Structures are given as structure tokens and as C-alpha cells.
Structure 1
Amino acid sequence: MVLRCITRKHYGLVASRYISQNAATTRHITTSSHLNAAPTAGHEAAKTATATAISKTRNIGIIAHIDAGKTTTTERMLYYSGYSRRIGDVDEGSTVTDFLPAERARGITIQSAAISFTWPPSGANPWLPKERTDPKALSATPCNINLIDTPGHADFTFEVLRSLRVLDGAVCILDGVAGVEAQTEKVWLQAQKYQIPRIVFVNKLDREGAAFGRTVREVGARLGVWPAVCGVPWWSEVGRLRGVGDVVGLRGLGYAEGGDGKEVDVLCLQQLEMEDAGLAAELKKARIALVELLSEHDDVMVEKFLEAHEDHLAISAAEITASLRRCVVNQHPQRVVPVFAGASFRNTGVQPLLDAVVDLLPNPEERPDPEIKLGPETRGGLAAFLSGKLDTVITTEQTKPSSKAISKDKANLALQNLEACALAFKVVSDPRRGVLVYIRVYSGTLARNAPLWNTILQNTERAQRLLKMYANDAVDVENIPAGQIGVIPGLKFARTGDTLVSYTGAHPKNGPPAPVNRMQLRPINVPPPVFFVSVEPSSLAEEKNLREALELLLREDPSLHVSVDEESGQTHLAGMGELHLEIARDRLVGDLKAKVRIGGIEIGYRESVTVPSGEVTEVFERDVGGRWSKAAATASVEPAVEDGMSEAVGKQRHVFELADRNRLVITTPTLNADGTSTSEDHPSLPEDLPLNTVLHHALQTGTSAACARGPVHNYPVHSTQINLTFNPAEHIFPSTTPAALSSATRLAVQSALRSSAKINETVMMEPVMMVTISVNEESLGSVVHDISSARGGSVISLSSEDSSDTAATSTSSIARIDIDPSKIYAPPDPFAGGHATSTSSSSNSVLLGNANGTRQIVARVPLKEMVGYLRHLRSLTGGRGTFTMVVDRFERMSGQRQRAVLQRLGGDYG
């Protein structure tokens, strides 16, 4: 309790200092953002001050594989910045960012936590005061760092994805013993997708078996980038980590054993030659390699090298830092990645990492223009849109086809009153403050009590309060300027991925004028769930409470999915994995106090037709809402063949790819591609049913509804081609509406599916996972045997295979450049059994096999066999085995497996 009080007091001090520094500079941003505002001295001063504030802002994230040390590193950053008074411990459950009870109980990060601090600390710098005398250095003056600590477990990939969406830079932490692990490659790919600059911190170098050099080579081989070694481990004679060597500054940083890391012994190169000649020699080699690497990717560094008379050591640290920054910030995709060394748990090497965050990672203004969407065909950058350079002549999709287009002049005029644009990237239900919506402001300034128009939900909510978050604590602020991350409490409807705009004079119901009212920042794609459990209220009186709790849960985590089985009436909650669903169940019962009965974990199977059906025609004729509607549809189904429709696409055939690899083929023998009749003898389409918009949408909607439930086992239909033959003379009536046509299509497709099932029963399909298992050498044989025999999986590769083949397998989905491992500089690993020299070609053979005997198995395994696999793997490997998995594809089940599944399901529900 005493710690919490002290920490909260410090939150207030930090926040008040931040507000006092930025309130005056951000108060006038709204007026200065108007496109046609008259330039005044006050406006120019505000712009200058705002630009200075943004240039001193870093929005960064910590990304890594589970148990690489993300939260531990974050705790040290908070401690050295003066944010916290003591260092939290993950095992004790005393960390600042892991504040949820489930996180502290399990010792892992479940939801990303946002926290703000300043580096370097204001006033007298407790760390290396003599090294902060250069006013030109970026890290010479305090910068505001907004840090997000993300989860590392594969089940919470979406949590990482939505955090990456709003970041400007990332610190990727690697385990110095395990090297580049499977989930590391996955989050690296996600960061590369959003063009986020990254730096690497090799952690846990204090542990037995740590191999910094091998890990550096794995960065090049597995991640497809050139590692620029900026820090090397400083080993003592007995193999303990004494400190780190600063390659950029040519100095040694010694840390007292058992200390808190604030007292650092700094040795220049001359002192280091007397203290540890081996480290001094290695620093010179590392500096030469660093300059050579930068010269290959930065022309300015070549000039500096020539000015220094080709002396690698004569180039100043500031010039090398500037070159590194250019390579990190300006290259897309990033080719050079700075690599630093340390051990967060031993309080070693974190301060140089913080310096690198300020010196090398970009501020919000240095990031690419965020992408926006104004319509189905209109996309572009936000800055281009705000400046009026983006072509905004679009028609409103929800209006009638005869609606007038929006002129460019009117569109530009509508931009003048746009005050702020923000993205809601996360929603959290806080027991004390209610629903908290985390936002990133991309333009203007969001002021307190401003009405916010949701461009996706098309409604208005008011931001009555604005918060600056400090993990689980918060401070009220008056506004949130561009480039900053903040929180809006109390919004009732905003969800993850929604775009919120503040507009002067906007109508509460209709919102701002077009095209501002439908502007959307790039949305976040939600991966499909693979596990599900049944959720039932304990009584009818609890049904409403359960529904409200599930709605709140879905607002918090869109990667969860809720569906209702029409036959049984059961509510199914689906998620990304066992742990994901386990946490969701704990939230429902523990935090949201829902009185429910929760079933066991089930698998989302699919079913597919095996033989073609004949054509089936169905007529829908019903009174809907007091209006008589009638329509007809003709459909047939057949198994889908990969790449089998290239010859089918023509003037009278329209092909659409649906969910679950289903394909819809619409044939219009009497209509041209534009919807007109091919002959005067054939009727044309009604004006309210244009072919390429309303008609196609109605047919797709009906087909998707029919494919949601298979004809035999009631699982969604997969890998099926649906053929629709449409003729206005046979299927259109005077009372036909798009809804009636959609219903007729649904009936016809369902009848065709049943007809195919009568000829030959459908086959069930199961999700097959791509599993990457990390095990120790001694357990490799038993794990491979268990996967291939007991679980029906197939092993694709082992880490002992040829390094280039394995690297290509593990990084096949990463847009990577070809890296020759022999050309990568890496210091020797004298105490880890690694390579002896940095240029030895024999070291390539151990690139992907770890020095401590850790091996990787890549296999395809049915998802059903992976339920509860973690406990079994730990028993096989003595608790040292870990695995990650992603959905690879759905495959047809053998007759024996299908009978076993149906028998089990019948036993459960019969």
C-alpha cells in the first residue's frame, strides 16, 4: 500500500510536469490547423512550439517472444527514468505494467499496457553526466516516451497487432540463450507490415549458455536484415557479464555486480586497453564493421569516412548515430537494424538502450503518412487529404445512385473545420473508471468535452474527460495533441479500429459534411478464431446480464467471436487459443460478474461437398413487413478446384471469392457485363437492381448465409463452388426486392447442398496448424515421435537441417533480403560454446541450432491434437519445451478420424 501511494504521487509529478511543458504549446493547435487561417505571430509561435513538442515524442512498443524479458526491461526503463522508486519483479507480481490479477498470477503479459515517462530525466542526469554535454545530441534534452508493453504469447497476437498499428518505433527483445524464436519472427513480420522502424536488444546475456554472437547471426539469417552491432557484452575472466561495450562511443560500461544499475563505471578506449585489452580490441573490430556496414547503406557515411582519412575510429559518435538514424528511419523496408546487448534482470545495459530509443527511433512527424479510406476506390494519405491534394470527388455509397457527386472545392471547404482525427486502437473495461478507449491522435488537437463523430458507426459521442495513462493510473489532461497517445473514458459505442473526428459545427446526428463524415483510417484486420466454448446463463434472469457482458468483452477484444447455434440455442464464444479463451472466461466470471456455465473447449470444424449437384430452383414468396415480396433463384454446387476458374471468367460470368475458400460463380446468359440485355427478346434488369452493385450484393449475401451451416453436420461449408444462373425473365417479379432475392438465393443454395449430400455424404474438414516447437536436444526424439505417431502430424523441418533451407522455411512469409551469414560481423562467444571467430564460415552450421542444445521442430498437426498439448510437451521435456502455432489450412479428415470426432460429439450432446 505504501508503494502504491508513493507511485501515484510520482504519477502526478510526472504528469503535471508534462502538462506544464505542453499545455501552452498545444492550446492553440486547433485554430492553427485551419487550412485558410491567417498566419499570425501567435500562430507561428504555436506551430514552432508544437513541432518541438512532437520532435521530442517517441511512441514505441516492446515486442518479442514470450519470456524474452519485455516486462522486466520495461520495469528497468521506468526505474532509471525516475518514474518508479523501486524495480518491480515479474515473479513477485509487483510490476507496473502487468497490473491485471491474471497477469500477476501467471507471470505473463496478457493485455498491452501504455505508460509515459521522460528520458533522460530532467535536471541532473544520474547516468553518465559527462556524456550529456553535447547540445546537438537528441538525447541531450528530455523526450516524452509513450511506451506500450505488448504480450508475447501467440494467443494474443491481435493484442500486439492493434498496438503496432499506432506505434512509431519498436524495440525487439531477444533471449540471448534461445536466439530468434518463432513468435519473434511473427511479430517482426507484423511490424514490417506497418513499416515500423526497429532496434534489437539481446537480453539475458547473464544466463549460462548465452551466445550474443550466434544471436546476431540469427537476426540476419532468420529476419532478413543486416545487424549493426552497437553494443557487445563485456565478459569477466570467469564468464560473468561485467557490463557492455559501447561500439558507437568506443567505451566500456561496467556495472557493479548486485547493484541497481544506476552506478556505471565508464572507461574510455585508452583506459579499456589497460583494464581489458581483449574487449578494447573487439570494440575496434566492431567499430570497423559498423562503419563498413553503414557505408554500404548511407552515402553520407562514405563522405565522413573519406573526411576522416579512412580511419574508422576517427569518425565521431554523433556522426555514426546520425547515420544509424538515417538507416533506421528512412529505409522502407528496413535493411539495417542496430543491435544492443545487456541483461535486464541484472540491471545491465538498459540505459544505452533508452538512449538508442531517443537517438534512433523516429518521432511522429518522421513516419509515413497514415493511410485513409474515403470510399471503395478512394484511398490516400491523411496529410494529402487534409491539404486538399487528395482527389475527393466521390459519391456517398448509402444514398441513391442519382445523388450528386461532391465537388473538390466543397470537399476542401469541409476540411477547414476539421479539428482533430484519431484512431481508437484499444478498448478496456476498468472496474473504477468504466470503459476506457485508447486513442492515437494523428492530426490537430483533441480537446476535452469535444463532440466526436465516429465515421464507421455514424454516431456522435462527447469526450467529457481526457486521460494520460500511466499503466493502471491516469491523470486528467485538457487536450491530446497530434502524435500523442491518450484515453477517453465513458464512450458507449466506440470500438477497436474506429476513426473519431472532432469537427466544428458538426450536426449531432448527420455528422460533418462529406467526405469528412466517412473518412476512415486504415482498419485492423481481425484473424479468424479457431477454438470455441459454449456459454450459457445459469438462469433466464441472467440472460440479459450475460449478453451485456459478452458485448463488453467483444468491444475490448475483437479477436473474440460470439455466435448462436440455431438448433441448440447455445451461445458459442470463440477465440485464438486455449489461454485466450481461459482469460476470456476469467474476465466473464471474475471481473464482469456474469453467472454462467461454460463448456469445454471445442474445435471449429468445416464440411465440404464431394460430388456436384443438379440445378435446383427455389421461389421465395412471403409477406415481409406488410409488403408482399417474391423472387426466385437457380443454384448448383460442386467441389471447388484450385485455379480452376480462369477459363470461366467472361462477359456473362462473374466470380467472387467467399469466406472459407468458397467460390461463387454467377452466370447471366441474357445480360451483358454492364447489366443491359443481350437481346431485345430478353427483359432488362429493373432500375433499382443494378447488376454490379445491388444484385451482386444480394446474391452474395444469400449465398454466404446458406454456407454458414452445412447440410449434414451443420458446420460452415468449406472449399465449395456455388453456381448461380440468373435470368430476369425467370427470377425477377414485379414485387421482387433485394431482400427477397437474397432469401431465394439462400433457399436455392441450401437445397443444392442437400441434393449433393444425398448423392454422396459431405466430408468433414479440420483446421491444421503450423506448429513450431522448441525443445532441448535430449527430448528431440521423443517429441518428434509423439508428433508423427500419436498426434497424426507431419514434421516439415528440424533445426539441424541445412541452415539456408531452414531459414527459408521459417521466414518464407517475410519479405526479406538475401543475407550472407558469413558477411555478418558478430563477436565471439567464448563461454557459450559458439563460434570462435566472427568470420568463420563453419559458424554458419550452428546458425539455427542453439549452443545450449535447443532445437526447433516445424510440423503440421491437426488442431484437435493440440488441445492441452502444452502440459504434455512440458512432461516430455522436463518443463523446458515451448511451442507456437498458427492456422495453416483446413484439410479433409480421413474416415476413421471423422467417425471418431462424430462419436465424441454424439457422446457429448447425446
Structure 2
Amino acid sequence: MVVAPLLRLRQPGLRGIGSTLYRSRPCPVESHICSQISQIAGQKAQCFSTSLSRWQSETLDRTRNIGIIAHIDAGKTTTTERMLFYSGFTRRIGDVDEGSTVTDFLPAERARGITIQSAAITFHWPPGDGAGSQPATQDPSAPKSAVSHTVNLIDTPGHADFTFEVMRSLRILDGAVCILDGVAGVEAQTEQVWRQASKYQIPRVIYVNKLDRDGAAFGRTVREVSSRLAVYPAVCQIPWFEGGNGAFVGVADAVNLQGLKWKAGEDGRTVKMMNLEQLDVEEHDLAQELRRARIALVELLSDQDEAIVEKFFECDEDHLAVPPMDIIDSLRRCVLDQSSRIVPVFAGASFRNMGVQPLLDAVVNLLPSPPEAPDPEVSIGGVKGGLRRLLSGDLIVEQDEKAPAPAKGKKKKKTALQADPKDAISKLQSCALAFKVVNDAKRGVLVYVRVYSGSLDRNSLLFNTNLHLSERAPRLLKMYANDAVEVDSIPAGHIGVVVGLKHARTGDTLLSYAGNKPTPPEPLTRLQLRPIDVPPPVFFTSVEPHSLSEEKRMHETLGLLLREDPSLHVSVDEESGQTLLSGMGELHLEIARDRLINDHKAKASMGRIEIGYRESGLGVSAAITKIFDKEVAGRRSKAGCTAIVEPISGEDISEAADEDTLLAETIEGNQIIIRAPGLQVDRSPRNDEETSPLLPPGLDPAALRAALQNGALAALARGPQFTFPMHNTRVTLTINLAEHLFGNETTTSALSGAARQATTAALRDLLAGSGTVMMEPVMDVIISVDEASLGSVVHDISSSRGGHILSLNEDAALSATDASESTAAEDSLPPIDPNRIYAPPDPFETSSVGVEMPVSSSRPRTITAKVPLKEMVGYLKHLRSLTAGRGTFVMSVDRFENMSAPRQKAVLAELRGGF
């Protein structure tokens, strides 16, 4: 009785005898049973969907996407190795000096002991199987670090030449750990990456490393954090020096009011914990300083968080009685709220295996999960907004409202574009950002992606909104530095790798859409996720293949390098034919050469920069007439031409012409004027074709102009004295119809040869008379330095390098680079009050040690100058030495200028090898 209705329900759409009979007489009992079954099935489906959604939400809440940022040699890779060891990911601690680290796996990285490209790695803290193995509920009174979390960590480079590598990694992070050298304090590259992190509103914590070294000053570093980074340091730990001024043995925790002591020489797994009463007995001065640190921490948080103020009053205004969990919650709220400008500060010595476990706890407790991170910026058709607004459909509606009204007759297209944009968003399966491309020798091209919404599944069709093409994702990987595990999908909030994409580049936005359509609906095709501006190159070098047969292979390899690193640029010098590779610095190009030759096995070599000098006349030549009379391809060719050569300046170039002028055009700084007195030109009204009855058969005015112009350009490509191309030169070519044209013998090749011979002869006549002079490229240079280094940089530019200072101002932001970009919000913030900064005293601190740098001396300044290109070769290294590594610059070609006689003599001697 029950089976038949179930069978009928399974096939509701069938057409046939059975289905017709069953539908003709519905049974009341059958209907009641079916309704009950439908209710049960719907409840189970809803329960399963709710459970799945809750599990995904909890998994995402227990995920941290963090990066390690710092100046070079601050200890980023060393700290990362300890994190991997304590989490159980590795069984031994890698050493940077030995080249045995997990994240520095490139041969060039291990040879130099520095990080060149960022590495992504996943581990769990506290050690476990991640969020999936944890119970559904957690004790609200326990910190988040009591439960295992999945940590996706990215170790970034610290060298200034690899600033772009840091930039493209920062924008996909939810939080960051900024590591400072306890001896050097806040260094140059730290300030740059800090500004970049502020641009993307990334919550951060600070870890002061290397406190075991002589000269380490934790207090001075904390004061520099406030003055140089313009934030309020919330000191959560203070260093524990044995006896007050002895060896560094641990840290005192101001949040939990306890001391953590590590035994020297061990791997750091065993930590001795002491409460405040025990510290009073063993280290009384440290216990007293810990109380002052706790008071300062609560006072600082009270200025920004009302909840901690209420808790403070509940504890009878006793700073020490405030529960640690309330302080952790308050710190987390302040870290997530960028306007508070409060950044927690921790202490340790990673190389001595001290302080890393509390830092990992801080990462889990204080840094945001993907849902808590700031809404990533997206843009559609020039309209910018948050990704969450896009997914809700508000951004699309706003974009449609701002779109201009279409012209008449295009109402149908407007209706198609505006047909329920929220419906288009609802079918968006995933949205991901390709933030890095790596060419792996074994796996091929690996595209690192951060998934922002939905789930990126294997074999899904990905639409590239930058290139407007679709590619299928055949394989997905979860990367563990150089090792990988294949997965079926990458959920939202996670970082993974797509293998097999042939066109995706750094910065591309990838979308997958329901139905596997090759192209999503119109608004989505213009979606851009956090677009990145590539900084301009400041250093150039030439790349030459060993033979012509290797040239194609070399250009293919350079294409791979450009896809991996968009901060590299490749161009071809039209004069010399050289392939020029430009990058962010000498080390940057040195690494590119190593990868080109050693990794990709390209048979090529890189030389030093070749500067394209020019040559210009100093007077006017006589009118030189030449007759070209030769046999070309078995046919006699004869034509004549008269040429006059004279120098011009950029202001003198004019396109004005009289009725006898056939052409007046400026090409690459030279002006070519072609005159043909008495030539009649007839123009067809239908197709604008030009004819002339005075020209020989088969020759029209357009061919005449092209032939004479090509001949003049060929002659100007080589100067008469220095063999450099001519510049700022005007060539006037005159055709006498009676004397220079010879009927059928006059061809385009003959005219071109006559123009070249006449122009070359005029250049030689110019050399015999007034002579010529060398010209050199002069660059527009914008240099960003701090106030303390301004004088030395200005003196170096104006005296040592022969440059001209145009302006000095206080606008620090270079328009072409993010390295020193400062947001308007940062500029409007009030200055940091030094009286609110707590910093513990440093061992052996005197009145001259630990004094914070005045704000005026660290104020950024911008120098605008014009400098010869020759003096700018290798300038980046010199600028960093003048500015303690804090100077940056961008430059572009302005114009060519005549060289003075002494400078011309010196350059010629260098070119000829007379150093």
C-alpha cells in the first residue's frame, strides 16, 4: 500500500499508462503519507545544510592567513622555522646559515642566506589536526589558542629590491607579524612594508627579536615604534634579563602576570612558568616592572575600549585584578579596529628558541579570521567598493545607477545589462585572486590564489577578468613550502595553488560561474579584486643570447620570468637592437640572471647598462646635391636630391609648411621636411588617393614622400663624428622636378638612395664647418628621503653627479610607487603622545641611549631633480648608504642635452676603454 505511491513519486515526470492511472484517482492516505515523507526529507536536508554551513563557518573562524614582514636580516625565516617545529610540522629546526630551512628552498636563497620569493606554508597551532577535529563548542572563558587553528603562513622577503614581492603577498593576508631587530630597532624596509600593510588595512602584531644579542634594547625599540610607525605600542611582554642585566632567559607576560623562562641550549619545547608571587622571590625588580607594564597596558586599552573600563571598575579599579581573558578580548578588538592605532608588542629571541610559542598564541588570539578581516576592495567599471557589498548586490546596483544613459535605439542593451544584477551575483560560485605565479621545474606553472568567496573546485572553468578568457583548473594543491598535497577544492578564506593555467598572471581576478559558462554576465566581466600597481624599474642591463638560434629560447624564458615577477621589464633598444632587462635593483637583476641561466637553462649573458648617447650639429650645412646612379636588381636606377642639415631645439620644432612642402614630420627628435617646388598633386575625392602628372610612371606623391623620408632616416641613424644617432636635427630635402627626376629610371629605391647620400654628405659638411657635439639622456628623478638625510642627498646630486635640483617639498609619497605611499587617513591622524608610551628600561641604558628620534628628523621629504642617466647607474645602492637604507627613488627619461667639452672627453675615454 505504501510502496506504490513511493514509486509514483519517484517518477513524477514520466508519461505512460502507469503514471496516467495513478494520477487519475489520488488516494487520501497516500497524500497524507507523502506529505509526511516530504516534511521529514525537508527537515533532514535543512538540518544537513545547516550543519554543513555551521561546520564551514567554524572551520573558517579557526583559520588565520598571516604573513611575516620585516627588514632584511630581522629573523623572519628563523622565526618561521621555529613555528613549524613547535607546531609539529617539522622534526628538526632548519638553519638559514646552513641552507636547511623549509621556506627558503630556492638555490639562490640558500646560497645567499636571504629570502627572495615569498613561500606559503600551512600548519596547525596548537598542534593538532586543525579546526575540523575540534568539538563544535568551545569554553567561552578560554582563549582561542586553547583550540587548534589552521595557520596559512607566508614568509616574505626583506630586501628592498624585492618590495614588489612583499606587496603582492600583503594584499591577500588577513593579519601580519612585523618582526623587529632588537638591536637595530625600526629599520628602513620595516617602515615601507608597514605603510603597505596600512594601505590594505592589515591588522598587525609586533615581535621584537634578537634580544639575546649584545646591544639589544627593547625599550628603545618600543619608543621607535611609536615615533617611526606612528602607532601606540601595547607592551604585552617585557624581556627577562637574568639579574636585571645578565643573559636573556625569557619574557614576563603582562597579560597573564607570569614569567616564562627557557633553558639555554635546549630546543625551547620546555618552558618554566612562574606566577607573580614566585617572580617577587626570584626576580623582584622584574616583578615590579611587570606590574608597571600591566598598569600601562590597561590604561592604554582604557583609552580606546569602553568594555575594559567597565571591567576595570568592576575590579575596584585594580589594574592587576582585571582578568587576562578580558585583556585579550580588548586587545583583539583594538587590533581589528584600525582607528585605535594600538599594536601589541611581544619579545623573544628566535635563534635561541625563546618566545615563539607565546607569539603563536598571540597570532591565534589577536589576529582576525577571514570573516573578521577588513572587506577587500573590488572595482567594477570604475566603481569601487567592498566585496561583501558586491555579493549582496548593492555594488552592482550602484554601478548601474552611475552608468551613463545609453543613446536612442539601445534600450534593449540597457535592459539586458540591468536585468536583476543580484541574480547574476547569486550564480557566482567563487571569486579568487591570483597573487603569485611560480614556474616549478617538476609541476609546471603554479598559480597561487586566495579564494575570497565560494569554493574553487577542481575542473571548474575560471574566467580571467583581466585577460577576458576562460581556463579550466585541472589540479588544485595545498602548498607546504616546496611540497604540495592535492585537494579537490579550496574553500573561501584559504590559500591554495592552481596547476595547469596557461595565461593567468600576478594580479589577475579569477571567477567561476554556475553552469560552466565560458563568460559570466556583463557586470562580472569587469570585476577587479585589489588591483596592484607595479612600481617602475630603476636599474637596467642588457641580455644577449649566445647565438641567433638561442634568441627565441631566451625570449620565451624572459616571458616566464615576467609572468612570475611583473616588476621586471623587458624592452628592445631600437638603435642597438639590444634586449634590455630592467628591475628594482642590482640584486634583483642578479637573481633574475641566475634564474634565467641556471634554473631555466637559457644560453644567454647579461652585461652592464649601455647608455644611448646622441649626436647633434652646432651649425648649418651647405646645400648638398647628390645624384644616385646605380644598377639595382638588374635595372638602372637614377634620382637626385638636395639636402640641408641644421640643429634645432625642442621649442623650434614646427609642423608649419608652405604649398611646396610635401612633408614636415618629427620622428624621434629629428624633423624631416620634404619640398618639391612646382609639383602638382591631384587628390581623388572618393578614396583620397594622390596622383601627379609631373611624376614618372609608377610613382605617386605618397611613394615619393616615403622613399625620401626613409633615406633621410637611414642617414640620421649614424652621426658623422661619434657614430651615435643624430638628435635635434632638421633635414630639408628638396626635389627639383627637372634636374632630379629621370623618367622610368627614377624608382623609389633610387630616391631613397639619393636622399641618404645627400643627407650623409650634408652631415660631413656640417662636421667640417661648425662640428657636432655629443648629447646624453637626462632623467627626471624623484627621490624620497627623511629630513635627516636631505642635506647629504642634495649635495651628492648637485655636486658629485652634475644634477640640477628643481624642488624640495614635504610630500613624501612617490606617485609611481607604493613603497612610500601614505594614505590620506594616516596624514590626518593626530601625532602620537610620547607621554602615553610605556617602555621598560634597557640594561645599561644611559641618557644618550634609548632616546627616541625626533619626529622632525624622520619627516619624509621629496627631492625633484634632473640628472644625467650615466650618473644614475647603480645609484640605488649609493642612495641607501647615504640614507641608512631609507631612501627610494623613481626616474624617467626627460630629454637629451648637449654635453660639456670636459664631460664629453671623459665619456669618450671611458667608452674607448681608457679608464
TM over 0.5: yes
Tell me the residue number matched to 1:386: 391
Residue matched to 1:824: 837
| Number of the residue aligned with 1:489 | 499
The corresponding residue for 1:270 is 277
1:258 has 2:265 as partner: yes
Partner of 1:554: helix, strand, or coil?
helix
Instruction: Work out whether residues 161 and 585 of structure 2, in 8 Å CA contact, stay in contact via their aligned partners in 1.
Output: yes
Match of 1:308 in 2: 315
Contact 2:585/2:876 (<8 A) preserved: no
Report if aligned partners of 2:773, 2:898 keep a CA contact under 8 Å in 1: no
Q: Which residue of 2 aligns with 1:583?
A: 591
1:693-717 Cα deviation digits (max 9, x unpaired): xxxxxxxxxxxxxxxx999988999
Task: State whether structure 2 residue 145 is matched by structure 1 residue 143.
Answer: no
Query: What is the distance in 2 between the residues matched to 1:69 and 1:860?
Result: 35
Match of 2:604 in 1: 596
1:101 and 1:774 mapped to 2: Cα distance? Answer: 39
| One-letter amino acid of the structure 2 residue matched with residue 389 of structure 1 | D
Contact in 2 for aligned 1:617/1:634 (Cα 8 Å):
no
Q: Structure 1 residues 252, 867: closer, same or farther in 2, change over 3 A?
A: farther
Q: CA deviation at 1:601?
A: 3.7
Equivalent residue, structure 2, for 1:765: 778
Specify the alignment match of 2:293 in structure 1.
286
Correspondence for 2:177 among 164, 171, 181? 171
**1:412-427 alignment runs, 5 A limit:** 412-427=422-437
Question: Alignment partner of 1:92: what SS?
Answer: coil
C-alpha spacing 1:845/1:579, structure 2 compared with 1 (3 Å): closer
Of 203-212 and 405-414, more deviation after overlay is shown by 405-414
Q: Hey, what's the Cα distance between the residues in 2 that align with 1:764 and 1:319?
A: 63
Which runs of 5 or more structure 2 residues have no equivalent in the other structure? 1-43, 131-137, 617-647, 670-715, 729-770, 807-818
Deviations 1:500-524 (A, max 9, x none): 111122433xx11211222221211
Letter in 1 for 2:374: P
Residue 45 of structure 1 deviates from its aligned partner by 1.7
Partner AA of 1:523 in structure 2: P
Distance in 1 (CA, whole Å) between partners of 2:488 and 2:454 is: 14
Q: Distance in 1 between matches of 2:333 and 2:72?
A: 30
Looking at structure 2, the residues matched to 759 and 441 of structure 1 have their Cα atoms a distance apart, in angstroms, of 62
Residues 907 and 525 (structure 1 numbering): CA distance in 2 closer, same or farther, change over 3 Å?
farther
Displacement of 1:302 = 1.3
- 1:654-695 Cα offsets, whole Å, 9 max, x none, are xxxxxxxxxxxxxxxxxxxxxxxxxxxxxxxxxxxxxxxxxx
Aligned pair in 2 of structure 1 residues 323, 51: CA closer, same or farther (>3 Å)? same
Counterpart position of 1:44:
50
State how far apart, in whole Å, the 2-side matches of 1:436 and 1:715 are: 47
Q: 1:82 aligns with which of 85, 88, 98?
A: 88
Assess, with a 3 A threshold, how the Cα gap between structure 1 residues 588 and 349 changes in structure 2: closer, same or farther.
Answer: same
Distance in 2, Cα, partners of 1:496 & 1:633: 44
In the alignment, structure 1 residue 886 sits paired with structure 2 residue 877? no
Q: How does 1:491-510 map to 2 (within 5 A)?
A: 491-508=501-518
The answer as to whether partners of 2:612 and 2:776 remain within 8 angstroms in 1 is no
Distance 1:183 1:844, change over 3 A: closer
Pick from 145, 152, 156 the counterpart of residue 158 of structure 2.
Answer: 152
- TM-aligned CA deviation for residue 279 of structure 1: 0.7
Residues of 1 paired with 2:588 and 2:512: CA distance? Answer: 35
Residue 686 of structure 2 corresponds to none
Kindly indicate whether the alpha-carbon contact (under 8 Å) linking 1:828 and 1:835 is maintained by their aligned counterparts in 2: no
Letter in structure 1 aligned against 2:310: E
- The alpha-carbon distance between structure 1 residues 54 and 618, as it changes in their structure 2 partners (threshold 3 A), is farther
Inter-partner Cα distance in structure 1 for 2:861 and 2:195: 20
Shift of 1:540: 1.9
- In the TM superposition, residue 908 of structure 1 has moved relative to its aligned partner by 8.4
Q: What whole-Å deviation, never above 9, does each CA across 1:343-372 have from its counterpart, x for those lacking one?
A: 111111111111111111111111222222
User: How far is 1:790 from its partner?
Assistant: 5.3
Pairing 1:454-533 to 2, within 5 Å after superposition: 454-508=464-518, 511-533=519-541
Asked if structure 2 preserves the Cα contact closer than 8 Å seen for 1:616 and 1:636, the reply is no
Looking at structure 2, the residues matched to 832 and 716 of structure 1 have their Cα atoms a distance apart, in angstroms, of 63
Contact 1:222 1:811 in 2 (8 A): no
Cα deviation 1:708-750 (Å, max 9, x = unaligned) = x999988999xxxxxxxxxxxxxxxxxxxxxxxxxxxxxxxxx
Alignment of 1:788-867 (within 5 A): 815=827, 817-833=830-846, 843-844=851-852
* Contact 1:424-1:438 within 8 A present in 2 as well: yes
User: Do the aligned partners of 2:199 and 2:822 also contact (CA within 8 Å) in 1?
Assistant: no
Amino acid at match of 2:552: K
The residue type equivalent to 2:537 in the other structure is P
Change (3 A) 1:48 1:760: farther
8 Å Cα contact 1:795/1:857 also seen in 2: no
CA 1:360–1:40 in structure 2 vs 1: closer, same or farther (change >3 Å)?
A: same
Q: CA 1:785–1:452 in structure 2 vs 1: closer, same or farther (change >3 Å)? A: closer
Q: How does 1:626-645 map to 2 (within 5 A)?
A: none
Deviation at 1:489?
1.1
2-structure distance, mates of 1:819, 1:325: 21
Asked if the contact 2:220–2:852 (Cα under 8 Å) also holds between the matched residues in 1, the reply is no
> TM (normalized to structure 1)?
0.70
Please tell me the residue identity of whatever aligns with 2:580: H
Q: Which residue of 2 aligns with 1:186?
A: 192
- What SS does the aligned partner of 2:607 have? strand
Which consecutive unaligned segments of at least 5 residues does structure 1 have?
Answer: 1-37, 125-131, 620-630, 639-708, 718-757, 797-808, 837-841, 851-855
Q: Once the 2 structures are TM-superposed, how far is the Cα of residue 414 of structure 1 from its aligned partner?
A: 2.0
- State percent identity of aligned pairs: 57
Secondary structure of 1:359's partner? helix
Separation in 1, partners of 2:787, 2:801: 17
- Aligned equivalents of 2:727, 2:150: Cα separation in 1: 49
Task: Report the 3-state secondary structure (helix = DSSP H, G, I; strand = E; otherwise coil) of the residue aligned with 1:207.
Answer: coil
User: What's the secondary structure of 1:520's corresponding residue?
Assistant: strand
Deviations 1:460-518 (A, max 9, x none): 1111110000000000011000000000112110000111111122433xx11211222
CA contact (8 A) 1:467 1:476 kept: yes
Is the CA contact 1:772–1:883 (under 8 Å) kept in the aligned structure 2? no
- For residues 312 and 42 of structure 1, do their structure 2 counterparts lie closer, same or farther at Cα, with a shift above 3 Å needed? same
1:437 matched to 2:459: no
Cα distance in 2 between the residues matched to 1:346 and 1:848: 37
Q: Deviations over 1:439-467 (max 9, x none)?
A: 00000000111111111111111111100
Task: Report SS of the residue matched to 2:593.
Answer: helix
How many angstroms apart in 1 are the aligned matches of 2:401 and 2:717? 40
- The aligned residue for residue 299 of structure 1 is 306
Distance 1:869 1:78 in 2: 39
CA distance in 1, matches of 2:286, 2:52: 49
**Aligned-pair distance for 1:220?**
0.4
Contact 1:578 1:601 in 2 (8 A): no
Residue correspondence of structure 1 range 123-134 to structure 2 within 5 A: none
Q: CA deviation at 1:42?
A: 2.2
CA distance in 2, matches of 1:792, 1:208: 43
Q: Partner letter of residue 379 of structure 2? A: K
Structure 2 residue aligned with 1:551: 559
Amino acid paired to 2:506: T
What residue identity is the alignment partner of 1:284? R
* Paired AA for residue 154 in structure 1: A
**Aligned partner (choices 574, 582, 585) of residue 566 of structure 1:** 574
Q: Residues of 2 paired with 1:908 and 1:580: CA distance?
A: 28
User: What do the CA deviations read for 1:554-597 (whole angstroms, capped 9, x no partner)?
Assistant: 00000001111222221111101000000001111011111113
Asked if the contact 1:231/1:339 (under 8 Å) is kept, the reply is yes
Instruction: Show the counterpart of 2:246.
Output: 239
